[in-house]
Chain A
Amino acid sequence: MSIKTLTMTAIVALGTSAAFAEEVRVYNWSDYIDEDLLKKFEEETGLTLIYDVFDSNEVLETKMLAGGSGYDVVVPTGTFLQRQIQAGAFQPLDKSQLSNAGNLWDVIQDRTAGYDPDNAYSINYMWGTTGLGVNVAKVKEVLGEDVALNSMDLVLKPENMEKLASCGVHFLDAPTEIIPMTLQYIGEDPDSHDTDVIAKTEEMLAAVRPYIQKFHSSEYINALANGDICVAVGWSGDILQARDRAAEADNGVEIEYHPFAEGSLMWFDQMAVPADAPNPEGAHKFLNFILDANNMAAASNYVYYANGNKASQEFLEEDVIGDPAIYPDETTMQNLYITTPYPAKTQRVVTRLWTKIKSGT
């Protein structure tokens, strides 16, 4: 075989393999989609979908800032998205490729524009609140029948925590969630970037620290469902998943989710396309697929998070759209607050404070 034919064969082989295996690589949160949708996407578009998961914004952000992640679609939370846009990590979306963009919900769009002006770089995937997951029977057994299951008192009052420690309490390992929550509790601006104000949370958190079994951002789903712990400060949908897993397992564990009566943090997970995405066209196809009202409804019905897609609401099951833990009523909505990213210097103070609270050092 001559060199020329060899090269030709190689080129043909490469060409065909590329045609057969056009890939879209999506990097999303763990336990965050109905897996049937992934198959459906491949069937509809003929593209190969490679779907990886992460469980912390920090991991995603490090990949974004290192560059060359190889992903076409990623799902950062609003505050992280804002900073990554500033770092130049994303490309503006081509709205002409998103025929379903009209399905988006203006109420949510208005809020996400705070992170992504004009929503130029991202679409909303899901949104939710940070609140309390409780094992009703165990908490009542420990703290009495008339304990308020929706109050921050449960997890920020040392005398309550001391009793709850026996059945196990987890907090999210996310200072950007717990510090605003504590600020809200002591009557400060939860979005304060003033390091002196932030420092006020230390005493409060140090007082309950001995009774917190673990700071972790995903283990509490199983731990709640198995009955290993009785209280978790966590994300709404995750706790509702724990509720359902416990119900399926029929293990006598009853889990409830409550946003804080004092006001909960509202967050938005946004789908965006990295600036160096290998297949931006495929990425837009995936976004448009997600924007489809039926698909988005299927995802929400599966993961129990509210979405930013108005048109999907008619396809949502009653236990999703009708559940105030997922789609809060008007008064709770008013009580929700959002936060903005910390500048690098403040972030360092916050991380340091967090390490100190967690490890006592």
Chain B
Amino acid sequence: MAPTILRVEGYGKQFQLHEQRKRIPSSHNVHFTVRAGELTALIGPTGAGKSSVLKGVYRTYLPSAGRILYRDARGHELDLALASEHQILELRRREIGFVTQFLHCLPRQATLDVVAQPLFTLGVARPEARRRAAELLSAMHLPERLWSISPAMFSGGERQRVNLARGFIAKPRLLLLDEPTASLDPITAECVIDLITGLKAEGAALLAIFHHPETIRRLADQVIELALPPVVEECLEDAA
């Protein structure tokens, strides 16, 4: 069997909103493993904390409970919930990618450079990085006339492709995907599915949320169903 690179054990997340004196549960007692060369799909009703799991793994959220054990390229295992900020940044640079539904980029930056960015930070020469960005953007049918302008004014579907290309370009070992095909037309969605299949074949592990059951059926090697966390919006006791 393919090696396990991520083990999530009892992940839980709740938000403590001080102003409203509330605790909002987001994920509760989540367990699963992710293997290299496979796609693990997270499913469940809205509010079951699917995105919260991805954000916990990427450490955009600080987990409230559980362990997130990641085995890195050198074979060392570390708990992402406890890793230092510099360790996380280094993993984000070299091994763990995240494609969200949002695109934050500099207002003036050309699309080609937005996509090539992860390679720039890895020290790949700019012409080579841009060449690979161009390759990916053609594969995703993003019209060449858009490459030199900023994605800030793109449509949702165009922006989503830029986002995906940026997530794919550095070939991360672990790629987190949050509804990456949600705003794509069927033809482009098909290209993205091909690219994901390609990444899997090259040994990448993927942890993904998909909108369409059909996409899950075609791509997922494993499906993890999340349940709604128990509804306890308890009031905090401290009356600060």
A and B physically associate: no
